[in-house]
Structure 1
Amino acid sequence: MNSTAETPADRLVLEAVGFSLSALAADARIAIAFSGGVDSSVLLDAAVRVAGASRCFALHVHHGLSAHADAWLAHCEAFARERGVEFAAEHVEVSRDAGVSVEAAARDARYRALDGMCASRGVATLWLAQHADDQAETVLLQLLRGAGLAGLAAMAPEYLPAGASATRVRPLLHLLRAQLEQYASERALHWIDDESNADTRYARNALRHEVTPALAVHFPGFRDALARTAAHAASAQRLLDALAHIDMEEASRDEGRALSHDALLALDDDRALNLMRYWMRALGLVAASSARLGDALRQLREIGAAGEGHGLRIDHAGHALRSYRGLVYWEAGDSSEPADETTLAARAVSELAWQGESIWRLPQWRGTFIFADAGVAPGDPDTIPASVLQRAVLSARSRSGGERMRTSEARNAPSRTLKNLFQERGIPAWKRDVPLLYIGDDLLFVPLLGVNRAALPEQVDEAESRVKIVWREDLLIA
């Protein structure tokens, strides 16, 4: 669906949207992040003119930070309906914790909500309305914060964040705010003016209202210059990422969840730090400061490749960097306990009255218990009589610390703590976050360790059918 462009601003906006649309399949649907401000109003209006209303979704996030938030939601829904566009909204809670930037918390909550709405609708493309002024402000903010190349690269025209279902596209990134405002005025669009945009206590607003106007007077082309800086930084970051990918192939262990201590320490400091930053991004962790990463690498070198590193602890954003048996890994939770004593975060208990089911899906654990028919195999220590599973309700529980089990078939053999068994088998801490399978109040099975022989009856019918229990993580399920 095309429209004849009548003015320079009209033509520029429609061409920008058309260019982004041309990269998509003819029937691909597009989600537009729609706040109701002038920028997203222009993007939604132009998307409808170029792609047609039937291909567009308008997605709104209600932060609840303003007294006008409900009115904004109503405005956005009406704006979308007027254009025949399907509309959806989601309310989010924004963290007000001390030390947490409200801007950053709102942004994180917004993107999580947008990604969720895209995923639930099967939409693979999310259009965002940031423009050239936003890009210039982002580069300036990152420069003032002392950011590295990844920060200076600012906002990419198109990218798929780790864990997101929709590719984020910014069709208007090379256009100026003034050009969008001209389009909106010519189209007689009505939009929301968020009062918080005038609050210069926020760093971005201070730049927008007090710094960039002065730059525009003395350096009229500063936006283009900063856009080139972002492009150069992005190019350099891609080269660093390519190098880190090469190093990752050598150092990666356990599908990237850990690094080889030896391989990491074999690199010089610059290259090792580059690998660590790349690895953290791949794991979805918040970027750490240069000082924190430098301290981590220093400590790793001090304990040496042969050291167990139990004393190593670098806390960062809800995780702790640890070293164990030649591997370096991030352990969830800012615990003060050593890695092999970690108490893992509790999950909701799940229960099952087993009646011969072959699988028991546990979404909160991202995995599945499989109950495989093993026939009549009384001598197999990894199987149990089917009647045991029907003795009481099965439950999957988190570790709470101090659990014990007996892996030996000998009745007089002592039970041992799960901690000791995990250590003995060299199972690293990040793999120990597994569901414990109970039958009634008795621990029956522990993934990676096996059956608790103490939970089995002393006398069994050797002719009884037996079951083999297996735990499979989602990634391993066919």
Structure 2
Amino acid sequence: MTQLSDIHADRLVLEAVGAVFSASTTGLDAGSQTRVAVAFSGGVDSAVLLDAAVRVAGPARCLALHVHHGLSPHADQWLAHCENFARERGIAFAAQRVEVPRDAGVSIEAAARDARYRALDALCAQHGVATLWLAQHADDQAETVLLQLLRGAGLPGLAAMAPEHLPSGASVTRVRPFLHLLRAQLVQVAQARGLSWIEDESNADTRYARNALRHDVLPALGVTFPGFRDALARTAAHAASAQRLLDALARIDLDAAAREDGAALAHDVLLAFDDERALNLLRYWMRLRGLPAASTARLSDALRQLREVGAAHNLRVDHAGHALRSYDGQIYWEAGDSTEAADETALAPRPVSQMKWQGESIWRLPQWRGTFVFVDATADDPFALPASVLAAAPLIARSRSGGERMRVSAQGPGRTLKNLFQEQRVPAWKRDVPLLFVGDTLLFVPLLGVNRGAWEPASSTSGTTATAAERYLRIEWREDLTIA
């Protein structure tokens, strides 16, 4: 027999879903046929959300997305359950399997969450869906705020989960219709509707921090502070409001400090701010660059070093597979770790490679993690050279030894590579590139181009002269792709 409380809980669920569908910020007006994707784990929360979305908007406007983590021995059964649940209601269904990395120092919870969101975003892009619905509720929000408080998190952490949010660098908006509803209300609706759902056995494992809060702490809080969920939700809202103001200030500061479309900051502008404002700008800039948040201690140490070294070129602060570098009055984040040289004085010579060129289009150099590519070109291409030059003697790829010179224009003088790199504003740590020689003559330098002195008649060196019907080629250096 249906209870009045069941009817009330069901009405709250449908109102929450209907409000999101009709909200102008989602772009889903009543006559729109735009679809939304529902992250469907098969648990009670997502089952209620998917069921309600279908009742409000119809199955044609819903897409159920499931991520198979493989962490549980029951993962295959969960996938089958979710697919059957969607099929019974005429809902389109898609799933993706992921491998959760077990990196040292990273919790399995965090790794699984990151893998799940990456998979969900990819599935949304694959199916042309711009809005992803998540079934997190008021209990989840309370747990998140408490966890962040216990970790000593700043405002972004305390702001917890937003009802609607477009993550930096993402194209999929995440919407949470149930943030004001209790898990007990969702369970009540699921039981009244006769929905089936799965129970993840890992949710009972109190070795995980969130589970410990859920099973041991929140029930005790509820006895003495029955309104704690609302209070923590208000804390999250206050933190989100304060963070928006800090972001607005950071955007003003970024407009003043940004160089190269935001890829770099002006060293002097950043350091003109006091520490709190500079740290706020660094955090905001890192989010825009898609970098994971750094601890206050790490960022404070980076700022201290920036103040101490001034405009020195050899600064390196490692973070999450990237390095904060300072060069020529500008500050960059670049991919790389501490195994890479911080400046050109620290570069170790690479093994020398040699090849007799016979028309090859590529020359792979594993020790340099890259490839020379020889592309057909025309004689008027300023970066092309005669093919006969390549065949005149063995090609040799080696490290810089110091003092090398080249002529970058037909009538120009020979200049040192160091001066040319400085003129082109190439940072010192990018100058570790293979020099391509033909015999004993320098022929090509990545980032600088071809040495005209290797064959131009105007050169005083003993280069090779091209004939009128010569085939011309352009040399390119292509570094291997780095998978982050």
Q: Partner residue of 2:7?
A: 7
Q: Partner residue of 2:22?
A: 22
Task: State the secondary structure of the residue aligned to 1:57.
Answer: strand
Give the structure-1-normalised TM-score.
0.80
Which residue identity lines up with residue 342 of structure 2 in the other structure?
Answer: P
Distance 2:433 2:91 in 1: 45
Deviation of 1:386 (Å): 8.2
Deviation of 1:324 (Å): 1.1
Matched, 1:166 2:176: no
Q: Partner residue of 1:451?
A: 450
Q: What aligned pairs does 1:31-430 form with structure 2 within 5 A after superposition?
A: 31-304=37-310, 307-310=311-314, 312-336=315-339, 337-340=341-344, 377=380, 382-384=382-384, 406-408=406-408, 421-428=420-427
Report the CA distance shift for 1:455/1:292 in structure 2 as closer, same or farther (over 3 A).
Answer: same
Distance 2:421 2:184 in 1: 62
Task: State the secondary structure of the residue aligned to 1:27.
Answer: coil
Which residue identity lines up with residue 186 of structure 1 in the other structure?
Answer: A
More moved, 116-125 vs 190-199 = 116-125
Which residue identity lines up with residue 264 of structure 2 in the other structure?
Answer: A
Contact 1:405 1:453 in 2 (8 A): no
Task: State the secondary structure of the residue aligned to 1:7.
Answer: helix
Deviation of 1:449 (Å): 2.1
More moved, 459-468 vs 216-225 = 459-468
What are the Cα deviations for residues 41-73 of structure 1, in whole angstroms up to 9, with x where unaligned?
A: 111111111111111111110111000001100
Distance 2:97 2:282 in 1: 36
Report the CA distance shift for 1:231/1:468 in structure 2 as closer, same or farther (over 3 A).
Answer: same
Q: Give the length in aligned residue pairs.
A: 430
Contact 1:372 1:469 in 2 (8 A): no
Deviation of 1:114 (Å): 0.6
Deviation of 1:463 (Å): 7.3
Contact 1:38 1:191 in 2 (8 A): yes
Report the CA distance shift for 1:75/1:427 in structure 2 as closer, same or farther (over 3 A).
Answer: same
More moved, 155-164 vs 192-201 = 155-164
Which residue identity lines up with residue 151 of structure 1 in the other structure?
Answer: G
Distance 1:433 1:27 in 2: 54
Task: State the secondary structure of the residue aligned to 1:314.
Answer: strand
Deviation of 1:328 (Å): 1.4
Contact 1:383 1:466 in 2 (8 A): no
Deviation of 1:178 (Å): 0.7
Ranges in structure 2 where 5+ consecutive residues have no aligned partner: 349-358, 362-372, 392-396, 456-462, 479-484
Report the CA distance shift for 1:129/1:462 in structure 2 as closer, same or farther (over 3 A).
Answer: same
Report the CA distance shift for 1:82/1:238 in structure 2 as closer, same or farther (over 3 A).
Answer: same
Ranges in structure 1 where 5+ consecutive residues have no aligned partner: 344-351, 355-368, 392-398, 473-478
Distance 1:265 1:118 in 2: 41
Report the CA distance shift for 1:248/1:283 in structure 2 as closer, same or farther (over 3 A).
Answer: same
Contact 2:387 2:473 in 1 (8 A): no
Q: Between Structure 1 and Structure 2, whose CA radius of gyration is higher?
A: 2
Report the CA distance shift for 1:118/1:200 in structure 2 as closer, same or farther (over 3 A).
Answer: same
What are the Cα deviations for residues 339-359 of structure 1, in whole angstroms up to 9, with x where unaligned?
A: 55689xxxxxxxx998xxxxx
Report the CA distance shift for 1:437/1:189 in structure 2 as closer, same or farther (over 3 A).
Answer: farther
Deviation of 1:313 (Å): 2.4
Report the CA distance shift for 1:430/1:207 in structure 2 as closer, same or farther (over 3 A).
Answer: farther
Which residue identity lines up with residue 428 of structure 1 in the other structure?
Answer: P
Distance 1:353 1:50 in 2: 63
Distance 1:171 1:400 in 2: 60
